[in-house]
Amino acid sequence: MNFKITTRNLLVAVLLLMLCALPLFAEKFYVQLFSKILIMGIFAMSLDLLVGYVGLVSLGHAAFFGLAGYCAALLSPQYEAGNFFVSFSAAISICILFALLTGVLALRTKSFYFIMVTLAFAQMIFFIFHDTKIGGGGDGIYIYQKPLLAISGITLLELENFKTFYWFTFGWLIAIYAFLRILLQSHYGHALGGIKVNEHRMRALGYPVFWYKLSAYVIAGSIGGIAGYFNAIQFGFVNPENISWHTSANVLMMVILGGMGSLHGAVFGASVFILLQELISNESMLGSFASHWSLMMGFFIVAVSLFLPNGLTGLFSRGSKK
Amino acid sequence: MSEFLLEAQELNTRYGSSHILHGVNFKIRYGESLALMGRNGMGKTTLIRSMLGLVRPFSGQVRARGEDVTGAETYRISLMGIAYVPEGRGIFSSLSVKENLLMAARPGPTGKKDWTYDRVLDRFPRLAERLKNGGNQLSGGEQQMLTIGRALMTNPDLLILDEATEGLAPLVSREIWKIVREIRESGIATVVVDKNYAALTAISDRSVILVKGRVVFDGDSEALNGDSELIAKHLGV
């Protein structure tokens, strides 16, 4: 890899530094808003691995998001902080298990049918939590205290502190970005790219396509779970809406907005989506029109998909795309 | 070990209600070079696809290295040392030339590593000049070279080339024929499908002609080349 100092790289470095320093100068509200963006960025990257790199469009990705969230809530004792390591690893394990179970079945289908099957699985999970008392039914459950990140009584990070929480999620976003970047540039990643272009040829070359797709599905599911876990502990609240198809559709829109098949595009898409949602649903700015924010969001997404087939990142990488 | 690398016995294949292959028997020995001929729609590609598990035959048996692989997963058959260069080539457009090649790299089923990345580039200097190019930025001939190179990277014992020179300029076709001859001389068995019967019979040991899903000729290529009547009857336009 050769790294050159270009205006673009400089801009990215400045942007990263600013994001890193954000809690030092911004108000609590904005730090929390950006934490949310970081979490949704992780979520969008996980879906982009499937949609943009393997060509598997899932409309049930929120199942992982919600499952991990419920896991965080159910494993937190009511009046004291839970153990981060326990609930986090449990949440991710559940997501891996769910991905394996549903992936084995869903990956037998293709294109439109894959969308419907993933949606169906997510809806099942939705109704399990919505219609039973496991997670407080439709009302959801609260996490009163964020889990404690401690080893043998020594607290490593105080996640209750909104600044620490921001830096913590920021670190995770960078780590997951780097992990996926390395993964996609590896032999494995190239094989996924080959599967996206032509599955038959990959089989003829001797690749067990199904296992490649299943492993990608599991990786995407567990990263989706990481986002869901952080989302749950940030807001201290989980409800079935986290699993609903709205959540799946929103994250898909983030990926499309940013540009499919680009990891930073997914993060960028998530940022634009959330900031725009914040802006156009702001009543003090737009008055009663703000209640129709989803209409404006719809127009915006239609416009982006019509005029920018490579998403918003296509604006910047024009001509420099390999 | 079986005498045959790949064989089909009494193969019947249907697409929906249309019966394409009618009890086809097909065999290829280790190191043998075979021409598969027939007019359009006679079942050549269907025969290949049925043997490679891309289409499930309705009845009959496919054996690779003596092992029953009827309806087995394509990738398993591929791992037995059978490489397939399909019609239409199928370059991975999202990958560069280099990535296309490296993705296929693996030792053959018996562990041989005759074809390395360097050797493929050595044999296809035009690819070496375009390593960083995307797969879809290549000309038709270069794409065909890339798919052949990619297939060789798997160190196969059998290379199946469907429509080897379809849509290529005469000069490029000549280059492809030269490569096929070299592959054959290196000891890799080949099954080649093409419209250029003269070139095809010249580089193969044996020829098989399919007419309406039935084998009507299976014999020496040289003998077929001398039999202009037979060629006109089954292959002439």
* Alpha-carbon distance A62 to nearest alpha carbon in chain B (angstroms): 28
Query: Given this model, what pLDDT does residue A153 score?
Result: 77
Residue found under tokens 């002439």: B236
What is the least distance, in Å, from the CA of A202 to any CA of chain B? 8
- Determine whether B125 is exposed, middle or buried from the number of CB atoms within 10 Å of its CB (0-12, 13-18, 19+): exposed
Q: Where are the domains of chain A?
A: 34-244
Q: Is A196 on the interface with B (CB under 8 A)?
A: yes
Residues of B in contact with A190 (CB under 8 A): 95, 99, 102-103
pLDDT for A2: 57
pLDDT of residue A207: 93
Min Cα separation B122/chain A (Å): 21
Using a CB-CB distance cutoff of 8 angstroms, which residues of chain A are in contact with residue B151?
205
d(C-alpha B3, C-alpha B1), whole Å: 7
pTM as predicted: 0.83
Residue B29 bridge partners (DSSP):
B4
From residue B168, alpha-carbon distances to A246, B57, B101, B164 in Å are 50, 32, 21, 9
When pLDDT is cut at 50, 70 and 90, the band that residue A19 belongs to is very high
What pLDDT, on the 0 to 100 scale, is given for residue B70?
92
Q: Give, in order, the Cα–Cα distances in Å from A312 to each of A205, A255, B7.
A: 35, 10, 53
CA distance A150 to A82: 10
Range with top average pLDDT, A131-135, A202-206, A254-258: A254-258
Nearest to A190 among B54, B95, B150 (CB): B95
Would the CB atoms of B74 and A198 count as touching at under 8 Å? Answer: no
Q: What pLDDT shows up at residue A103?
A: 97
In B, minimum Cα distance to A203 occurs at B75
Minimum-distance CB partner of B99 among A190, A201, A202: A190
User: How confident is the model at residue A24, as a pLDDT?
Assistant: 93
Chain B residues inside the 8 Å CB shell of A193: 92, 94-95, 99
| pLDDT of A274 | 94
Chain A window 101-120: which residues touch B at a Cβ cutoff of 8 Å? none
Q: How many percent of chain B have pLDDT more than 70? A: 99
The stretches of B81-152 forming alpha helices (DSSP H) are 97-104, 117-123, 125-128, 140-152
Q: Please write the tens of the pLDDT for every residue from A238-295.
A: 999 999 999 999 999 999 999 999 999 999 999 999 999 988 888 777 777 778 888 8
Test A209 with B75 for CB contact under 8 angstroms. yes
**Residues 6+ positions from A73 with CB-CB distance below 8 Å:** A135, A141, A142, A143, A232, A238
Highest mean predicted confidence (pLDDT) among A3-7, A227-231, B213-217? A227-231
- What is the pLDDT, as a whole number, of residue A76? 87
Domains, chain B, in order of start with CATH, read: 4-234 (3.40.50.300)
Which residues on adjacent β-strands are paired with residue B26? B8
Q: What is the mean pLDDT of chain A?
A: 90
Which phi-psi region, left, alpha or beta, contains residue A80 (left: φ > 0; alpha: ψ -120 to 50)? beta
Q: What is the dihedral of CA A51, A56, A60, A63, to 10 degrees?
A: -80
Q: Tell me: the pLDDT tens digits for A28-72? A: 999 999 999 999 999 999 999 999 999 999 999 999 999 999 999
B193 φ/ψ angles, rounded to the nearest 5 degrees:
-110, 130
| The token pair that represents A108 in the structure block | 């037998």
DSSP-assigned beta bridge partners for residue B159: B83, B190
Each residue's pLDDT tens digit, B83-111? 998 887 778 888 899 999 999 999 998 88
Q: Is the pLDDT of residue B43 over 50?
A: yes
Kindly report, residue by residue over A98-115, the tens digit of the pLDDT: 999 999 999 999 889 999
Q: What is the enclosing helix (H) or strand (E) of A78?
A: none
Rounded to an integer, what distance in angstroms lies between the CA atom of residue B129 and that of residue A44?
A: 38
Alpha-carbon dihedral of residues B159, A185, A219, A146, nearest 10 degrees?
Answer: 180
Helices and strands in chain B: count of H runs, count of E runs: 10, 10
A194 vs B103, B106, B151: nearest CB: B103
- Confidence category of residue A318, pLDDT binned at 50, 70, 90: low
A vs B: CB pairs below 8 A: 62
Cβ contact B84–A206 (<8 Å): no
State the pLDDT at residue A231. 96
- Above 80 in pLDDT, residue A320? no
Q: Average pLDDT in the B71-82 region?
A: 92
A201 chain-B contacts, CB cut-off 8 A:
86, 90, 92
pLDDT of residue B2: 81
CA distance A46 to chain B (A): 20
CB-neighbour burial class of residue B62 (10 A; exposed 0-12, middle 13-18, buried 19+): buried
